[in-house]
Chains A and B, each alone.
Chain A
Amino acid sequence: MKRISYFCFILFFCWFIPDVIGQNQITIYGYVKEKISEEVLSGISIMDSLSQQGTFSDENGFYQLHLPQNRVHLVASGIGYQTSRWKSNILQDTTLHFELHLDTVALQTVTVSAARSENPENTPILGKIRLTAQQISSLPSIGGEKDVIKALALLPGTSGGREGQNTLLVRGGGTDQTLVLLDGVPMFNTGHLLNFMSIFNTDAVKNIDYYRSGFPTQYGGRLSGIVDIHTRDGNKNRWQGKAEVGLISTKILAEGPLNQSKKTTLLFSGRSSYLDLFSLGKKKEVFLYLNNSFFKYRFFDIHTKLSHAFEDGSKLSVNAFYTYDQLNLGDGIKSEIIGTISETNVKVQNFVGVLNYQKSLSPQLFFKTTLFATGRPDHRLNLTESYRLQDDDELGTYGIIFPVTTLEKIGFEYINENYTVYNQGIHLHFNWSPSAGHAIKMGFWGQHNIYPVYDFAYQFQPDFSPHQIEVLYVKAPTLKALEGAWYVEDNLVLGQWAAQLGLRWSSFFANQHFYQGLSPRLNIKYTFPKLFTLKAGYTHTQQYNHLLLTNDLLIAETVWIPSTPFTPPAIAHQYSMEISRYLKTWNIEVSMGAYYKNMKNLVQYPTVEVVDPYKYDNWQEKVFTNGLGKAYGLEWYIARSLGRLTGLGSYTLSWNKRRFPDLANGQFFPARFDNRHAISLALQYQFNKKWQVSSSWSFHNGDRFTLPNALVTSNPFTSTYTINAGLNANQLPNFHRLDFSLTYQKSLPKSNLLTIRLDVYNVYNRANTFYLKADKNVRYDENWNIIDEENVIKSVSLFPVIPSVSLAYNW
Chain B
Amino acid sequence: MLQQYRLFLIFLYSLSHFSCEMERTIDIELPDYQTQIIAIGYVSPRHTSVFIAPTQAPLDNTEAPPLEGLKVSITNEIETISLIPQVEGLFQTQELLEANTWTLNVLSDNFPPVRSVAQTIPSQPTIENPTWTLIDSTQHKYRIDFEFKKERPLDYYGTLIEKTCCDPFPSTTPFFNKIALVEAVDSIGTFSISSELRINDNATISLRLFHLSPDLFQYIKSIRTQEFISGDYLYDPVSVFSNIENGVGGFGALREDSLHIHF
Is A247 touching B26 in the complex (CB atoms < 8 A)? no
**A773 contacts across to B, CB distance below 8 A:** 23, 232, 234
Of B61, B174, B176, B239, the residue contacting A663 (CB under 8 A) is: B239
- Report if A772 contacts B (CB, 8 A): yes
Least CB separation from B173: chain A residue: A719
User: A665 with B33: in contact, given A717-B175, A795-B24, A797-B22 (CB under 8 Å)?
Assistant: no
- Report if B238 contacts A (CB, 8 A): yes
Interfacial residues of chain B within 191-244, with CB under 8 A of chain A in the complex:
221-223, 225-242
The interface stretch among A218-226, A586-594, A708-716 is: A708-716
Interfacial residues of chain A within 117-151, with CB under 8 A of chain B in the complex:
143
Distance in Å from the Cβ of B37 to the closest Cβ of chain A? Answer: 11
- Report if B151 contacts A (CB, 8 A): no
Query: 27 A–B contact pairs at CB < 8 A?
Result: A247-B12, A278-B10, A606-B238, A663-B225, A665-B222, A706-B234, A708-B58, A710-B36, A710-B56, A711-B55, A713-B56, A716-B90, A716-B174, A717-B176, A718-B176, A723-B240, A725-B31, A732-B26, A771-B234, A792-B25, A793-B234, A795-B23, A797-B23, A797-B24, A798-B20, A798-B22, A803-B12
Is A715 touching B89 in the complex (CB atoms < 8 A)? yes
Distance in Å from the Cβ of A753 to the closest Cβ of chain B? Answer: 20
Is A707 touching B30 in the complex (CB atoms < 8 A)? yes
A606-B230 Cα distance, complex, nearest whole Å: 9
Given pairs A609-B231, A715-B53, 18 additional interface contacts (CB within 8 A): A143-B16, A247-B9, A247-B12, A662-B221, A664-B239, A709-B30, A712-B38, A712-B249, A717-B51, A719-B173, A721-B223, A721-B226, A767-B24, A769-B26, A772-B26, A792-B25, A793-B59, A800-B19
Is A709 touching B58 in the complex (CB atoms < 8 A)? yes
- Report if A583 contacts B (CB, 8 A): no
Is A729 touching B31 in the complex (CB atoms < 8 A)? yes
Distance in Å from the Cβ of A379 to the closest Cβ of chain B? Answer: 24
Interface centre among A715, A769, A796 (most CB of B within 10 A): A715
A733-B24 Cα distance, complex, nearest whole Å: 12
**B30 contacts across to A, CB distance below 8 A:** 707, 709
Interfacial residues of chain B within 14-68, with CB under 8 A of chain A in the complex:
15-17, 19-33, 35-36, 38, 40-41, 49, 51, 53, 55-61
- Report if A730 contacts B (CB, 8 A): yes
Of A711, A733, A796, the residue contacting B57 (CB under 8 A) is: A711
User: A717 with B225: in contact, given A710-B55, A733-B26, A798-B20 (CB under 8 Å)?
Assistant: no
A754-B164 Cα distance, complex, nearest whole Å: 80
User: A800 with B16: in contact, given A607-B235, A794-B25 (CB under 8 Å)?
Assistant: yes
Interface residues of A (CB under 8 A from B): 143, 247, 275, 278, 552, 604, 606-609, 622, 662-665, 705-719, 721-727, 729-730, 732-733, 767, 769, 771-775, 777, 789, 791-800, 802-805
Least CB separation from A797: chain B residue: B22
A271-B60 Cα distance, complex, nearest whole Å: 50
- Report if B171 contacts A (CB, 8 A): no
Is B175 touching A716 in the complex (CB atoms < 8 A)? yes
Distance in Å from the Cβ of A155 to the closest Cβ of chain B? Answer: 27
Is A708 touching B237 in the complex (CB atoms < 8 A)? yes
Is B231 touching A722 in the complex (CB atoms < 8 A)? no
Least CB separation from B230: chain A residue: A721
Is A723 touching B248 in the complex (CB atoms < 8 A)? yes
Least CB separation from A723: chain B residue: B248
**B229 contacts across to A, CB distance below 8 A:** 606-608
Interface residues of B (CB under 8 A from A): 8-10, 12-13, 15-17, 19-33, 35-36, 38, 40-41, 49, 51, 53, 55-61, 89-90, 173-177, 221-223, 225-242, 248-249
Is A795 touching B228 in the complex (CB atoms < 8 A)? no
User: A717 with B41: in contact, given A247-B13, A709-B31, A797-B24 (CB under 8 Å)?
Assistant: yes
Of B36, B40, B225, the residue contacting A662 (CB under 8 A) is: B225
A8-B173 Cα distance, complex, nearest whole Å: 58
**B175 contacts across to A, CB distance below 8 A:** 716-717
Is A719 touching B26 in the complex (CB atoms < 8 A)? no
Of A607, A665, A706, A712, the residue contacting B55 (CB under 8 A) is: A712
**B249 contacts across to A, CB distance below 8 A:** 712
Is A767 touching B22 in the complex (CB atoms < 8 A)? yes
Least CB separation from A803: chain B residue: B12
A652-B56 Cα distance, complex, nearest whole Å: 41
Distance in Å from the Cβ of B169 to the closest Cβ of chain A? Answer: 18
**A717 contacts across to B, CB distance below 8 A:** 40-41, 51, 174-176
Least CB separation from B10: chain A residue: A278
User: A727 with B237: in contact, given A707-B31, A718-B40, A794-B23 (CB under 8 Å)?
Assistant: yes
Is A724 touching B237 in the complex (CB atoms < 8 A)? yes
Is B16 touching A802 in the complex (CB atoms < 8 A)? yes
Distance in Å from the Cβ of B127 to the closest Cβ of chain A? Answer: 23
Least CB separation from B236: chain A residue: A606
Distance in Å from the Cβ of B151 to the closest Cβ of chain A? Answer: 24
A333-B236 Cα distance, complex, nearest whole Å: 34
A251-B146 Cα distance, complex, nearest whole Å: 66
